[in-house]
Amino acid sequence: MHNRPATSWLADETVASRNWDPDRTPGLRLTLLWLAVLIPLIAVVIRMAQLQLVLQEGFISGFEQTYETEEEIPARHGRILAADGSILAGEDVRYDLQIQFRLIQEPADERWLRTEALRNLDRVERKDKQRVEQEKQRVLDRRNELWATVAKLTGTDSMVLAKTRADVQQRLTRMKNEVVRQRARRMQESELTSQQVSHSEEGQSPSAVGLQAIWNRVRKELTEPPARAMDSEPLVEEIGFHTIAAGVNEDVKAEIEAHPERYPGMQIVMETRRIYPQGELASHLIGTRTPLSAEELKKRKQSNPETDLHIGDPFGRSGLELKYDEHLRGTRGLRRHIKNRRGEIVASETIREPQNGRDLVLTVDVEVQRRAEQLLDQALQKVTLPDVVDDESHQGRVEQPTIPQGGCIVAIDVHSGAILAAASAPRFDLNLLTNPDRDRWNDLMEDPRKPLFSRATQMALAPGSVFKIISAVAAVESGKVNPDIPIACRGYLDRPDQHRCLIYRHHKLGHGDTRLADALCQSCNVYFFTAARRMGPGMLVDWSRKFGIGQPTGVDLPSEGSGHLPYPGEVIGGNQRRWHPAETLGLAIGQADLLVTPLQMARVMAAVANGGQLVTPHMAAETGPVSVGTGPSFRPVFSHPEPQPIEGLRTETLAHIREGLDMVVNHPRGTAYKTTHLKEIRIAGKTGTAESGGADHAWFAGYVPADQPRIAFVVVLEHGGSGGKAAGPVAKQLVKCLLDLGLVSGSKNLAGE
């Protein structure tokens, strides 16, 4: 049984199954190896085919992906114009032609050139190298054509443009080299830091050092971007615009903005600068504009989050520039840019046009303003000698020759309050703030006469005898004084050494029996002392308030002074003022701590001249032209308060006052007859010489013509001396100017001439 024979093939198979050796079957092993290699390769090929044929557009679109940014377009600010259209404050507008740097660069940047070429080709054409090269040449040709167009459009020689391009490129090359140098320095510092760390690890075991090095490498690979060539990243300036032609004309601007598709990579940028063509003329009225600081902007955004102001924007600081800043200020426009992933602009569109600021037209007559300033300048050079008998009591002081330290002239329409002129001296050149000059600015700041001080609206001085106009009204309306019944003047009130008339100090005489009109004509102090004693301080204070004394006039200029009206019971420094009878007497002749502004007195004169209507002085005209492109040629702009009748003021009282003011200038005994009288026109007014800590202040307040008043005016010379002698001649020359310009005509009634 056990030795039974078996077939040979069965025996061989059994042995093979028990002793199989792969080396005896090399074909199978090679097959498996090839499969192991081919399967991944096939997967790679399939993936590559998928990327090229199916997903290619997605990857290309990623490289061609764009994003949007917005850029503000500056707007012009409105101008300030005089009544005749003369520009007092304007905008120097300059249009600059700017072109993208890649169009300027020579030779063209290869990456930019290729990107531009590929943008114009479809997917199949991009694979054709020859087609790509042809398109790159077309891009270069179009760039050359663009520069030829720029030369023709701007009228600039091609050599000049080439020089400008070279200058821009050289400047950016220097910037680029500096950036690369800084990057290299930072890289060296980083490597030095790494070496220091390595040195600090020398005492560690080799395994610890190796692990630390591996960890540092892993962290760097995971947290830091891959190293790039230090000059591979473009600067912001390399993808931005640069000025090629400054100050191009309106035609160039209109052409480029109307046809942006013809001028790709080009834009017009507007630059504005405030200018003052008249220099010093009306500088205190116009005011100043200076750049807005970061702190100021922060405060304004807190109060008005929607403001479109930016740091460095010119902002009104004083005068009309401040008062009407919102009216004058333009509203920026908005432009949208479409940029590629490198930040280069591929398309632009304007989504909001800029709105230019509106013009501000003034009531000021530029010739009257100019002549008034010239008169003040001449007065400030003139010495006034104390040889003319004037109107005030100087309490025994010795008069000295005086030179005015400053001055002001105000002229307003008696019916509307429109300001024809408001001149101050000394002044300053408004252009000094737009084009600073250190030496001139230091001289300005060190000038003791304070040229930056606006005397028309902020100067408050004792008015002296010009205030007797209000005292006269109060006396008559109180019923304590009859204007037709004389009051005896012996030259002093009670004692010869105080409360005197000036005539007594010089000649030991009085004015005798004096009516109200005569008292105004000769400026009799005793008459008004007596009237004040009869009526008391209450009537004086009440009528002063009715005429607007001690309160702003409401003029449309910022920082207007209110002056000071003293009164019984006034609280000063937390203590109630003790009122003495002598203060009532002093108030009656414009002293006793009384302070008024030139505008307040001009309004008083206008009220006397127009029949008792208290007007609101104003600078802005109710209608006026508007900047080009913002609306019709003329349209309403502002309205102002209507004149208000002074309560309780009778026409009969004003008639007596006006009679006396006429006599001041036109009667031989009047205090202004020798210095102010004119044959051509009848002037009405009042002189005033107000005491101060130094030389007296000289005043003249009046209106013309006396019989049909149209313009009220005030002349004030700070420390100018005698009102009749110093301020009177200036008033006379001012009226002559009004006559010459046709703003007033000769009086019909010139009886007594």
Q: Are residues 569 and 676 in the same domain?
A: yes
% of the chain beyond a pLDDT of 70: 82
Say how far apart CA 578 and CA 576 lie, in whole Å. 6
As to burial, measured by CB atoms within 10 angstroms (0-12 exposed, 13-18 middle, 19+ buried), residue 476 is buried
Tell which of 220, 244, 267 closes a domain. 267
In a domain, 383, yes or no: yes
Say if residue 388's pLDDT is above 50.
Answer: no
Q: Are residues 550 and 692 in the same domain?
A: yes
In a domain, 511, yes or no: yes
Q: Count structural domains, the chain.
A: 2
Q: Work out the angle at residue 321's Cα, subtended by the Cα atoms of residues 319 and 326, and round it to the nearest 5 degrees.
A: 130
For residue 352, name the pLDDT band (cuts at 50, 70, 90): confident
Tell which of 267, 283, 310 closes a domain. 267
125-129, 464-468, 564-568: segment of lowest average pLDDT = 125-129
| 42 or 545, higher pLDDT | 545
Residue from 433, 276, 404 nearest 700 by CA = 404
pLDDT in the model for residue 3: 52
pLDDT in the model for residue 117: 86
pLDDT in tens, 474-493: 999 999 999 999 999 999 99
pLDDT in the model for residue 665: 97
In a domain, 561, yes or no: yes
pLDDT in tens, 514-571: 999 999 999 999 999 999 999 999 999 999 999 999 999 999 999 999 999 999 988 8
Say if residue 235's pLDDT is above 50.
Answer: yes
Say how far apart CA 529 and CA 434 lie, in whole Å. 53
Q: Are residues 382 and 260 in the same domain?
A: no
For residue 751, name the pLDDT band (cuts at 50, 70, 90): very low
| 684 or 110, higher pLDDT | 684
Residue 707: which CATH number? Answer: 3.40.710.10
Structural domain of 380: 366-442+455-740
pLDDT in tens, 613-665: 999 999 998 655 544 444 434 444 577 889 999 999 999 999 999 999 999 99
In a domain, 402, yes or no: yes
Residue from 589, 567, 587, 595 nearest 500 by CA = 589
Say if residue 58's pLDDT is above 90.
Answer: no
Q: Are residues 473 and 612 in the same domain?
A: yes
In a domain, 129, yes or no: yes
pLDDT in the model for residue 57: 60
Say how far apart CA 670 and CA 676 lie, in whole Å. 10
Say how far apart CA 129 and CA 114 lie, in whole Å. 11
In a domain, 376, yes or no: yes
pLDDT in tens, 255-272: 887 887 788 888 888 888
Tell which of 243, 267, 291 closes a domain. 267
Give φ, ψ of 25 to 5 degrees: -130, 70
In a domain, 719, yes or no: yes
Q: Are residues 391 and 258 in the same domain?
A: no
In a domain, 71, yes or no: no
